[in-house]
Chain A
Amino acid sequence: MHVVYPVVLAALLFSIGVYGVLARRNTILVLMSVELMLNAVNLNLVAFDVWLKDALHGGQVLTLFVIVIAAAELGVGLAIVLAVFRNRRTIEIDRLRDLADPDPDPDPAAGSQDRPHDAETIPARGGAA
């Protein structure tokens, strides 16, 4: 088995994951894309473990660790997503903009739509937390 095949496949899977993270709007789809990227890394680890014939099986053991950490990350991540959904009624990343800088040159039409929404959600969240 030439090492090129698994390594190129891993690079392609990673790029697909990058596209998903950047292009998707739903948080759960973003998490799925992150899983794709983690799987690409796992494929690399297994391929290099087989190539280098590691006596300690470092690559495959690290693959198992990455799988476990991915499961833990997904559990905590979904809990955060559900908490956001409870507070905001949405999990669309484009609309969760409370941490963004205020627009320096606000568009009057967009600004008048956004500002009252922010003003009413921030005190409500502060009171609940």
Chain B
Amino acid sequence: MSFAPPGLWPPTGQEIVFLLLGVVAAGAALLVVTTRQIVHAALWLVVSFGALAGCYLVLTAEFVAWVQVLIYVGAVVVLLLFGVMLTRAPIGPSTDLDSGNKTVAAVVAVATAAVLVTTVIDGFRTAYAPLEPGEGAAKPLGASIFRTWVLPFEALSVLLLAALIGAIVLSRTDIGGKD
């Protein structure tokens, strides 16, 4: 790199915004996995995904941020709420959302976090990415998708069709297998 990257501390303005959004995202994610009300978990998921969309915006990935808002906050959470409704989950607070292996799960998660965080801090301590606005706007990203990545894009549309048909076949009760 031709210029010396600024030190890790104090953070720049962009990094402060990113850190605040990251705290919101991680805190909301923590509430998703610990709350006692299943509908609240879905709503905290909205907060977490929204904060992550803000993180993408800070990282200049505008198009990904709006896709995140549209698909995750818009579609995925609504789908999850439909699932909650159709399985007649308890709407109020319930005590049996966590299984018995909570402590083991916490130990595994803390171990995973420790390994990953130490590894990535060790590996990317000096990596610095100067942000240039417009890099992830719709125009360059669309040109990239429809030129370089058009074949995976088309394959993905076939995969979406297969998933759609699979979901319909699994959901309908009147087209079962062989009797």
How many angstroms from the CA of A76 to the CA of B148 in the assembled complex? 29
Q: Give chain B residues whose Cβ lies under 8 Å from the Cβ of A49.
A: 61, 136
Q: Give chain A residues whose Cβ lies under 8 Å from the Cβ of B128.
A: 1-3
Q: Give chain A residues whose Cβ lies under 8 Å from the Cβ of B52.
A: 39, 42-43
Docked complex: B6-51 residues within 8 A CB-CB of A:
8, 11-12, 14-15, 18-19, 22, 25-26, 29-30, 32-33, 38, 41-42, 45, 48-49
How many angstroms from the CA of A70 to the CA of B108 in the assembled complex? 24
How many angstroms from the CA of A25 to the CA of B105 in the assembled complex? 12
Contact call B144/A31, Cβ cutoff below 8 A: no
How many angstroms from the CA of A86 to the CA of B174 in the assembled complex? 13
How many angstroms from the CA of A81 to the CA of B136 in the assembled complex? 36
Q: How many B residues face the partner with a CB closer than 8 A?
A: 93
B91 within 8 A of A: no
Give B111's nearest chain A residue, CB to CB. A15
Q: Give chain A residues whose Cβ lies under 8 Å from the Cβ of B141.
A: 57, 60-61, 64
Residue in contact with B83 in the complex, picked from A25, A28, A51, CB distance below 8 Å: A28
Contact call A81/B131, Cβ cutoff below 8 A: no
Per-residue CB contact flags for chain A residues 59-90 toward chain B (1 = under 8 Å, else 0) read 01101110111111111101111110110000
Nearest chain B CB to A7's CB is how many angstroms away?
5
B101 within 8 A of A: yes
Q: Give chain B residues whose Cβ lies under 8 Å from the Cβ of A50.
A: 59-61, 129, 131, 135-136
Nearest 9 A/B pairs, CB to CB: A22-B105, A20-B33, A19-B109, A72-B163, A15-B113, A11-B116, A23-B105, A79-B170, A51-B129
Please, could you name 30 A-B residue pairs with CB atoms under 8 Å apart, sorted by A?
A4-B124, A5-B15, A5-B22, A11-B113, A16-B26, A19-B33, A23-B98, A24-B97, A25-B97, A26-B38, A28-B84, A29-B32, A36-B29, A47-B129, A50-B59, A56-B148, A57-B136, A58-B149, A61-B141, A61-B148, A61-B149, A65-B152, A67-B64, A67-B68, A69-B156, A71-B160, A75-B164, A78-B82, A82-B87, A83-B170
Residues of A near any B CB (own CB < 8 A): 1-9, 11-20, 22-26, 28-29, 31-33, 35-36, 39, 42-43, 46-47, 49-51, 53, 56-58, 60-61, 63-65, 67-76, 78-83, 85-86, 91-94, 128-129
Q: Kindly list 8 other residue pairs between chains A and B, CB separation below 8 angstroms, not including A7-B124, A8-B117.
A: A11-B113, A28-B87, A43-B56, A50-B61, A65-B152, A68-B159, A71-B75, A85-B87
Residues of B near any A CB (own CB < 8 A): 5, 8, 11-12, 14-15, 18-19, 22, 25-26, 29-30, 32-33, 38, 41-42, 45, 48-49, 52, 55-56, 58-61, 63-64, 67-68, 71-72, 75-76, 79-80, 82-84, 86-87, 89, 96-102, 104-106, 108-110, 112-113, 116-117, 120-121, 124-125, 127-131, 135-136, 140-141, 144-145, 148-149, 152-153, 156, 159-160, 163-164, 166-168, 170-171, 173, 176-177
